[in-house]
Structure 1
Amino acid sequence: NTFFRPFYIPRDGYPRMMQTNWLNMLTSAGEVDVMIDIHKEPKAKAMRSLDMQLTMLRSNLSFQRTRGNIDQEKDLDAKIQDTNNLMDEIQFNENDSYMVSTMAVAYAESKKELDVLCEYLEDEMQASHFKIASTWNRVKSGLKAVMPLGAPNTLQDTYRNIDRRALCTFAPFVSGSGRFNGGIPIGKNKITGQVEFLNSFGNADYRPPNYNIGVTGISGSGKSLLLKMKLARETSLADTHAMIIDPEGEFVKITKRLGGINLNISPESNIIINPCAIAVTELQITDKDEELEALEQYDKKELVERDGVKYVRFVPILEKINEILGFFDIIIRGQDFDQPGLNVFQRTMLEDAIREVFDKHGITSHPSSLYTDEVKKVDGQLIQSQVRKPEPELKEIYDVIVENHGDDVKAEELIAAIRPFLRDGSKPLFDGQSHFGRGVETQLNESRVVNFNISHLEEGFLKPIAFHVILNYIWEHWIKSPEHAIKRKVLYVDEMWQFIDYEQTVNFLEKVARRSRKRNAGMCWASQDFVRILENVKARGILQSTFSYFFLEQNKIDKKKIQENFNLTAGELDIILNNPGKGEGIFRVGDSSVWIQTDPSDKEMMFIESNEAVLQELLNNMKKVQGYAG
């Protein structure tokens, strides 16, 4: 019980200029068969046909001019010019004329599904200025024309003439090579043998819709190797700065070798990451951004101008309050995150307490409210003029709640949940002024690579909380910072699947992925449990905001999910499901795919390999090779 509908592109259904790979809209839409019938016209016949067409166009132009139809006049002028040019090219053997028919049949298991598919196809084609028409009263002829029966196409009105250049766009396979935008070498093309390049930020000629990259693959497929190779090459060769959230300690050695800063975070360290710390944000005054939209007309702000572009600087009070509420929502869910989050009463208590603490510090939406005029010693240096005020702290919010609601039964759970996170509790990482070590805070702004190593934290509870707070800190103080506005910034999030079940964290990751482009930043995330992300409704925003993907080896049981969500071809699925080599897979940028193999050299492997046993084996092999060569 299969329903089908034949359709074709009519003579007037082609755009004036055709782009390569337009057939992909038909071939990748689902159950659709496509037939292209091509006949080259003899030179004499083509010239006669074009001459007749030219006469008709000129006659029509004269008629439209007498009626005063200016729009039609411009369109006909363009067609006459195109026809004249094509006749000249054919006459001097610089071009050819072809009669082409594009027909297709869509299939579905029900009439409703067929209607939905056909409407989708029509919308997709119209977006590229193509029209499609159904063979309503000639269904049998339309079906026979597409089926591989060797029978001639009897629907003559489906044919139209095109030239050699337009015919090139009908090729279903454009190229085995990826688009070259400069950047860093990322691997070898398995089809062409050429080196493929990655430029996360694009160039003046082409910039992607966002700068985010996803890397997926099972354990041992080469994810970490690819990430570290990308990190090393981009920071060394592409003037890029990077911050890493490292759940497994995988990036500690590469960060050290790159001369970066490792922040090894644990309850025993003297590091404090304050979730209440707030910073100035800066946006172009014409930007449509959530923070800017939340800024009321009467809120205080600062206007600045650079290179003729106007920017607005302000302190996003409302967004920061929501971020702090998100932190408390996480900690109140308990050890296994199986408890409900903040209720209405707790949320109100917290919001009132946060606002009271902000008022106590004199923090408003104006950037100057975060500073005070005095002389202060920071890391052994005297700083005069504007100095940062002390940050609001967790303890201050706790004290306000205890003072205002200490006798309220509704506040007992909230007070008990916050207590272990104070500086004298068992989890003191988040209470106090942000501190990363003596002299480190100044280096954070200058270092090209900073790694937040959270591998020493408790898996079930403290690590997800630390991940959320660090993500918040990086967004607030690095990605959004006006000091880093023109820097190319990449946030690396390894093993993202570990944190995908925490609602507040997923929402924050989605916000970073969606809004980082305006801050000249991108997020590079990796995950071995890819389907866990696909099945999370809230995580879909992250996937939709990720333009480029590396698909390394995948689990065979995940084939259907990957196919449904990314529409990979049968050949691409075959590559990533049937035991590809380490670092081998599909590199997809938008709709363009490349079969790729990462290509770190032996010396580069010594630089990026973190497994000591593998590194030692590599060194021994290199010594043997050198010994043979000697």
Structure 2
Amino acid sequence: MFRRKKQKQTLRQREYSLDDGIPAVQDLFIPDGLEEEKDYLYLGPSRYCRIFAISKWPRDVYVGWLDEIFSVGNVDLAVHVRPVPDRKVVNDLTGKVVSAQSQWIVEKNRGSIMRLPELENIIRDLETIREAIQCNRDRMFNVTVLIAVHGTNEEDLNARCDRVEDILARRATEVRALTFRQVEALKSILPAGNLCVHGRGTFRNLTLGGTATVLPVSSAVLSHPTGVFLGFTTANSPVFFDPFIGPPWLPNQHITVFGYPGSGKSVTLKVLCGRISLVGVRVIIFDLEGEYREALKNLYDGEIIPVVAGVPAGMNPLEMEVERDPETKKEYININDKVADVRALVATIVRGFANRPLEPEEIAVLEEAVRELYAERGITSDPASLYEPGGKKLPEGGFAIGGVRKRMPMLSDLHAKLQEKPATEKLCLILKPFLRGNSLGMFDCETSKDLTAPVVVFDLSRIRDDFTKLYAMFVVLTWAWHKFALRHTGKKMVVIDEAWMFVKWPDSAQFLETLARRGRKHDTGLVIASQYVEEFLAREEGRTVINGCATNILLGQNPTVVDQVVEVFKLPKGMGERLQTFTDGRCIIKTGGKNLQEMGGNIAEMQVSVLPYEMPFVRTGGKGEPQ
């Protein structure tokens, strides 16, 4: 008797505690109110809902084929799976096989051959499924998929519903709004496990594999069998990324990373560079703000090469290197490409200083002068022409046994050669500040640097004005491309932070596009990163650079450009709203190129994960969080 009284007292106390403010589980998903219209529900202030059921399914489905509907925003997916007894499945399939075979015989006897291939496919599919179930290799399920779309008002609700229907229409899938059955549908999508919607057109028989494809797994296509760990998708699935994996995953190894200040762009780049260097990829980084010093010192095995205005940098833009043909493996000297690089460099200088392009006469004279400089030194397409015979006395004393590398022409040599040409007074005047001893003469020198470390950071943080930074980046990139990308074998990555400077002028933007095209042949990936995506979107050259990159990482974007971002990157419209809310390394990663969207599964929302030992050296916000 005493034990019973104690139990009753405990129950009364529990009831009192619930009434005292502790919510029940049902309170977490019960709406504020409920008013049913013919094809939507009113659930409270600024809460409208319409529920669809998939009525027509595509013939072929794949893992993650429904994931894109979540990009619309405010979309819930409820999947009800009910097993069907094997005996009933086998009997029904046998009846369908007999019916299809009978129809095939009738059509053949009539002499009508139009439907015979279709009937043969149906018979073959049915027999394959029946055999798999009879041998206990597969199961059959009744699957009901309900899609609930939410909006703040009727207009917003209708717009989101249109987007969902458009996405599914591209996959040969039809949905029906459950007219006059919205309340039963609402009960079916609540997390109570109840299915209150029945009837023809609300379910589909699927095998075990087909049922698995209905579950939302965003990273199914994004995660590569090789590569480095980047983070987790919204489904908490890990994302492993290998930019060099090649087709069919990626057509090229180039990457774009765009995000406004504070979105996590710098942290994402540092994490990516550090991890891919650990798997044997050689990396060079252009650091405009001095952000990579701590990461290089504590995480990377590399070196820093500072570039200071007016101080010889030890890099000669006219330096010539041996290039290896990726197909024939034959070594040669590519004078034509070097002439094109020098022409692009001078064109960028003239554009920045005189605000005009190179004139046709200047282009012709410039190309002639560059070729003459190499011809005077006996440099041809033969790699041996870079060296003089051994046995000669060296400037520092002693004699060389092997070949001695010839002295390469410098900018001062080019300037002197141009002065000998007619109608080059203006061009020579523009180039004068870039000669040795002047404020921009840091590259009028012989090469004394070498790129042997696994990770090399070019620190340009001491250069203040934008044009000098662009000029320094242009020269260093040209020099490093020949010393690094074309000289060394194996996988390589060139990271250009704040690459928006290159697309300000057509000549430098075209140069960037050329490097991307040439890098694909030499196992060199190009990472284009910038805070100002609008600089790329506003110019055709910038869009061309974006379209040439197979992987796009989009962090938080400003509301003023988000619509353009969605259009250029071929994103679903609903992702524009998500991009405006991203911070601290949350991003959208899109792989496969702009023309592969129809394949599905190549877009996912991801959170870049920074490991505890990385955090002190990659953070830039000063609060221990990715910025």
* TM-score, with length taken from structure 1: 0.69
Q: Counterpart in 1 of 2:312?
A: 270
Query: Partner of 2:431 in structure 1?
Result: 418
CA contact (8 A) 1:549 1:588 kept: yes
Matched, 1:559 2:562: yes
Conserved 8 A contact 1:181-1:206: no
Distance 1:45 1:99, change over 3 A: farther
Equivalent residue number for residue 598 of structure 1 = 609
Counterpart of 1:434 in structure 2 is 447
Distance 1:374 1:64 in 2: 88
Secondary structure class of the residue paired with 2:614: helix
Asked whether the 8 Å contact 2:305–2:458 carries over to 1, the reply is yes
The correspondence of residues 327-406 of structure 1 with structure 2, limited to 5 A, is 327-335=345-353, 339-374=355-390, 384-405=401-422
Q: Is the 8 A contact 2:83 2:141 kept in 1?
A: yes
> What is the aligned partner in structure 1 of residue 261 from structure 2?
219
Structure 2 SS opposite 1:169: helix
After TM superposition, give the deviation of residue 508 of structure 1 in Å: 2.0
Instruction: Write out per-residue CA displacement over residues 310-356 of structure 1, whole angstroms, 9 at most, x where no aligned residue.
Output: 42333222222121111111112243xx6111011111111121222
**Aligned match of 1:513:** 516
Secondary structure in 1 aligned to 2:504? coil
* Structure with larger Rg: 2
Q: CA deviation at 1:99?
A: 9.7
- Tell me the SS of whatever aligns to 1:419: helix
8 Å contact kept, 1:240–1:490:
yes
Partners of 1:375 and 1:167 in 2: CA distance = 77
Contact 1:96 1:164 in 2 (8 A): yes
SS of the residue corresponding to residue 522 of structure 1 reads strand
Determine whether 1:255 maps to 2:296.
yes
The code of the aligned residue for 1:349 comes to V
Does the 8 Å CA contact 1:254/1:610 hold for their aligned counterparts? no
| Matched letter for residue 20 of structure 1 | V
- Residue type at the aligned position of 2:489: A
Q: CA deviation at 1:41?
A: 7.9
Alpha-carbon separation, structure 2, partners of 1:182 and 1:99: 34
Residues 244 and 451, structure 1, Cα contact 8 Å, conserved in 2: yes
How many residue pairs match? The answer is 536
Q: Indicate which of 3, 20, 30 corresponds to 2:63.
A: 20
Aligned-partner Cα distance in 2 for 1:247–1:43:
66
Q: Structure 1: how far apart are the matches of 2:582 and 2:143?
A: 45
Q: Write the distance in 1 (CA, Å) between the matches of 2:145 and 2:514.
A: 46
Q: Give the whole-Å Cα distance in 1 for the aligned partners of 2:397 and 2:248.
A: 46
Q: For residue 532 of structure 1, what is the aligned residue in structure 2?
A: 535
Match of 1:292 in 2: none
Mapped contact 2:222–2:241 kept (Cα < 8 A): no
CA distance in 2, matches of 1:62, 1:317: 72
Deviation at 1:26, TM superposition (A): 8.9
Shift of 1:197: 3.5
Q: Of the candidates 431, 450, 466, which is equivalent to residue 456 of structure 2? A: 450
Aligned twin of 2:333 = 315
- What is the aligned partner in structure 2 of residue 474 from structure 1? 480
Q: Distance in 2 between matches of 1:45 and 1:456?
A: 77
The answer to whether the 8 Å contact 1:250/1:610 transfers is: yes
CA distance in 2, matches of 1:150, 1:316: 72
For the 8 Å contact 2:348–2:507, the answer to whether it is kept is: yes
1:323 match: secondary structure: helix
Residues of 2 paired with 1:402 and 1:452: CA distance? 33
- What letter corresponds to residue 432 of structure 1 in structure 2? C
Shift of 1:501: 0.5
CA displacement, residues 505-556 of structure 1 (integer Å, 9 cap, x when unaligned): 2112222334423322212232111222222211112222323333333223
* 1:451 aligned counterpart, secondary structure: strand
Offset of residue 472 of structure 1: 1.3
Secondary structure, counterpart of 2:256 in structure 1: strand
**Shift in Å at residue 596 of structure 1?**
0.7
Give the equivalent residue in structure 1 for 2:44: none
Q: Deviations over 1:387-435 (max 9, x none)?
A: 4322232233322322232xx4xx2211211222222544222323223
- 1:10: how far off? 9.0
Q: Which residue of 2 aligns with 1:200?
A: 243
Query: 1:583 maps to which residue?
Result: 585
Partner of residue 251, structure 2: 209
Does the 8 A contact of 1:586 with 1:593 survive in 2? Answer: yes
Amino acid in structure 2 at the alignment position of 1:330: T
- Give, in whole Å, the separation in 2 of the partners of 1:346 and 1:188: 54
- Report the CA distance between 1:256 and its aligned residue: 3.7
- Of the structure 1 ranges 205-214 and 347-356, higher mean CA displacement relative to structure 2 is found in 205-214
Residue 185 (1) aligns with residue 229 (2): yes
Q: 1:210 to 1:148 in 2, by over 3 A?
A: farther
Whole-angstrom distance in 1 between the partners of 2:427 and 2:227: 50
For the residue of structure 2 that corresponds to 1:242, the secondary structure is: strand
Distance 1:27 1:262, change over 3 A: closer
Deviation sequence 1:270-307 (CA, Å, 0-9, x none): 3243222222222333xxxxxxxxxxxxxxxxxxxxxx
Normalising by structure 2, report the TM-score: 0.70
Gap regions ≥5 residues in structure 1 = 1-7, 67-71, 103-116, 133-141, 286-309, 619-630
8 Å CA contact retained: 1:189, 1:195: yes
CA distance in 2, matches of 1:259, 1:559: 38
- Residue aligning to 1:234: 276
- List per-residue Cα deviations over 1:19-48 (Å, max 9, x = no partner): 223456899899xxx999999988677545
Structure 1 CA distance, aligned partners of 2:537 and 2:68?
Answer: 23
Flag structure 2 segments of 5+ consecutive residues without an equivalent. Answer: 1-53, 110-114, 147-162, 183-199, 593-601
Report if the CA contact (8 A) 1:98-1:164 is conserved.
Answer: no
Provide the rounded CA distance (Å) in 1 between the counterparts of 2:504 and 2:575.
29
- When residues 28 and 339 of structure 1 are mapped into structure 2, their CA distance, relative to the original with a 3 A threshold, is same
The structure-2 alpha-carbon separation of the partners of 1:404 and 1:523, relative to structure 1 and needing over 3 Å to count, comes to closer
Question: What's 2:128 paired with?
Answer: 85
Deviation string 1:460-503 (CA, Å, 9 cap, x unpaired) is 4322111111111222221122xx212x2111111222332122
CA RMSD of aligned residues (A): 5.0
Deviations 1:107-141 (A, max 9, x none): xxxxxxxxxx9xx999x96xxxx879xxxxxxxxx
Rounded to whole Å, the distance in 2 between the matches of 1:498 and 1:261 is 25
Aligned with 1:21: secondary structure?
coil
Judge conservation of contact 1:212–1:523 (CA < 8 Å) in 2. yes
Q: Aligned partner of 1:431: which letter?
A: D
1:466 aligns to what SS in structure 2? helix
2:286 alignment counterpart: 245
> How far is the alpha carbon of 1:571 from its aligned partner?
6.8
Structure 1 distance, partners of 2:475, 2:545, is: 19
